[in-house]
Chain A
């Protein structure tokens, strides 16, 4: 493998690191409500989700032929820009995780790439009309659609089962939740692991290690699947807490309605070619399910912070991607090493900060707030 240069190797490692953060950032999409309602024990939930993500990665071999779906000009993209974009995406994913905010990993990746290409190749490399069409409109429409679907479904579920035995109803919907959450995990594995495989494959093609139109080698499929599965299994407990407890108090009929809405929206849009963010769909569903049950409290403050994070995800990741791209562009291999080291240091710092007030499998359901300080209930969001 003499085609694998230093830069290509760095890109592959960074892509797998992004895949890992993608996994633990998005565990909550499938499993937060199941964990909150007790349908699955926390450890079991992340294990099921992780395994299904790996299975999903192997199920689909239809790798996206473009890195970005036309948002940036793929012919102008160099491995250095991909690396810079990935660094932006990883850092943004880690920061939002620290704050317990469910933000879109796909938007982070797009943002990072846009920033890197803008700096590396000029603004003509970014197709802004595609950004509106493929990112902004689905981002606005999909959570609303999922929310409305979950709202109506939740209302119907409570109306129908109002006079039935509480115990039987709760148990029944919990079982249903396991199935619907598993389906979300499977769909996530096929979609998101594909992105990393696409990135690694296209990098290898651009480096000449693979022929044009080559599919991903087995080691790429396996490592991307494992990275996302492992990330999912580690579990982004801070985000799970926000989605399962923070937005609203979830009961099992609501959890089932929310997960069914998420699954349907994801599959319907994928089938019709809409790219959307699993995270935003799942958050929309949960809010809808909260509104659909009378007396359920929806914490609009948390929802507002989450939407704010959605809005700044793309520009923030673009900024980091752009800065990294300029370092790599002007500094060559040395610049790459510096960016990698600074990125790793920032990532380690964020992980250390999270240790001050850790959220894990044993305490994920104990509170609804994710705080950074050790002093008890300090409001989150001050650092954002």
Chain B
């Protein structure tokens, strides 16, 4: 029996790395969203900044999702 420890290690590293990265970026996006909504309620100027932060982060997450779909469909490879 030959167990490919290298591949197992790769799966572990990639999985943990990507998961944490996506969730952190998404959390930052949610923070931007919260800032936007908070600023809107208090008529503060930070609204636009929050929106931009949210948009940027969610766009990055959407790119990861697109890559995920690319991985799922073998015809794209």
Residues of A within 8 A of B (CB): 56, 59-62, 129, 132-133, 137, 141, 145-146, 148-150, 152-154, 156-157, 160-161, 164-165, 167-169, 171-173, 176, 179, 183, 186-187, 190, 253, 256-257, 260-261, 263-265, 267-274
- B34–A169 touching, CB < 8 Å: yes
Interface of B is mostly: helix
Which A residues are CB-close (under 8 A) to B30?
A: 161, 164, 168-169, 172-173, 176
Instruction: Count how many pairs of residues, one from A and one from B, have CB atoms less than 8 Å apart in the complex.
Output: 133
- Residue in B2, B10, B68, B72 whose CB lies within 8 Å of A59: B72
Interchain nearest-CB distance for A307 vs B (Å): 20
Chain B: CB-nearest residue to A148 = B16
Given contacts A137-B3, A256-B26, A264-B14, 18 further A-B contacts (CB under 8 A): A59-B73, A61-B75, A133-B3, A152-B16, A154-B23, A161-B31, A164-B34, A168-B30, A168-B33, A168-B38, A172-B29, A179-B65, A183-B65, A183-B68, A187-B68, A256-B23, A260-B19, A264-B19
Say if the beta carbon of B27 comes within 8 Å of chain A. yes
Report the separation of the CA atoms of residues A214 and B15 in the bound assembly, to the nearest whole angstrom.
35
- Residue in B11, B22, B37, B75 whose CB lies within 8 Å of A168: B37
Report the separation of the CA atoms of residues A148 and B37 in the bound assembly, to the nearest whole angstrom.
33
Interface of A is mostly: helix
Q: How many residues of B contact A (CB 8 A)?
A: 37
- B15–A268 touching, CB < 8 Å: yes
Interchain nearest-CB distance for B44 vs A (Å): 13
Q: Known contacts being A56-B72, A160-B24, is A132 close to B1, with CB within 8 Å?
A: yes
- B65–A149 touching, CB < 8 Å: no
Report the separation of the CA atoms of residues A129 and B2 in the bound assembly, to the nearest whole angstrom.
9
- Residue in B1, B72, B74 whose CB lies within 8 Å of A61: B74
For the complex of A and B, the 3 pairs showing the least CB-CB separation, nearest first, are A172-B30, A168-B34, A153-B23
